[in-house]
Amino acid sequence: MAPNRYYDRHFDCDAIKILPGEYYATTEKTLILTVLGSCVAVCLRDPKLKIGGMNHFLLPNDNSVGDSPVSASARYGTYAMEILMTQIMKLGGDKNRLEAKVFGGGAVLQGMTTNTVGQRNAEFVVDFLNTENIPIMASDLLDIYPRKVYFFPETGEVKVRKLKSLHNNTILDRETEYRLKLKHSAQLSGVVELF
């Protein structure tokens, strides 16, 4: 899924911008980027074949992670990870060679200091990757700043820019809209289907 394709003049290459709930994997020389608040993005790559991708997700339920590994939130996070891994393998990648770089989970809403959504997102993704035996080669998790993440799947390079001042509420608005969409779809289905 690649809804936002454009040419990035700064990096002089084609680029894919992913939003909350989206992912993209490729074999092409393409930049994948996203902007994160409390969401998490995982950059996965098969370094031998230079196949990589990124997802951008949020655990939707503020109270469900922790006790049960099959909680609604864990299912959403697991789905986001599984679908990205599946896309990379469809392109020829080998799960046993995957490497990860993880970003986000910022406490971007003022006044939230304990057990934040971002903290739970970060904890989930680290636990998931450890369980799957996928090494985390780099990470920039937590803190209070939103981040803009640029991933170059061909080389594995990631550039992160912390956004220390925001001129609008776009990041928070997108995450709120995404959270509401997840909550609504969970109410309709009651289950997230894994494959």
Q: Identify whether the C-beta of residue 11 lies closer than 8 Å to the C-beta of residue 32.
A: no
In the chain, the largest separation of any two C-alpha atoms, in whole Å, equals 46
- 34, with CB counted inside 10 A (0-12, 13-18, 19+), is buried
List active site positions.
39
User: What H or E segment, with its residue span, contains residue 100?
Assistant: strand 99-104
**SS3 state of residue 101:** strand
Residue 172: CB atoms within 10 A of its CB come to 15
**Helix 72-90 × helix 117-131 angle, to 10°:** 50
